[in-house]
């Protein structure tokens, strides 16, 4: 198990009632997924060649993520936190 996965699972055990947000850009597409009490936004859409999205491969070990949305376009994410709630938006940017 990687250090990252170990760290996340330790946080989940230590704070089971907390919600977590994980931001990443490790693949070049957009994904909004949830698993356990983690909301994950992957927005690797800033200019590199976009990766295909294989929703059957999304998961960790035998646990499958709850896929909220995916998109294969260039764009950006915005997150806003007001102290009590988090809002998120992904905006595609089309080049001509």
Q: What is the pLDDT of residues 32-52, one digit of tens each?
A: 988 878 888 999 898 888 999
Query: Is the pLDDT confidence value at 86 over 60?
Result: yes
Give the Cα separation of 55 and 11 in Å (integer). Answer: 26
Query: Is the pLDDT confidence value at 60 over 70?
Result: no
Give the Cα separation of 49 and 47 in Å (integer). Answer: 7
Assigned token pair, 48? 């590199």
């Amino acid at each position: 198990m990687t250090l990252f996965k170990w760290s996340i699972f330790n946080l989940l055990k230590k704070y089971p009632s907390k919600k977590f947000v994980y931001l990443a850009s490790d693949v070049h597409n957009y994904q909004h997924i949830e698993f356990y009490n983690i909301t994950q936004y992957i927005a690797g859409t800033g200019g590199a060649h976009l990766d295909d999205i294989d929703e059957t491969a999304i998961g960790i070990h035998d646990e499958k993520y709850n896929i909220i949305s995916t998109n294969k376009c260039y764009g950006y994410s915005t997150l806003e936190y007001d102290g009590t709630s988090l809002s998120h938006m992904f905006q595609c940017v089309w080049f001509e």
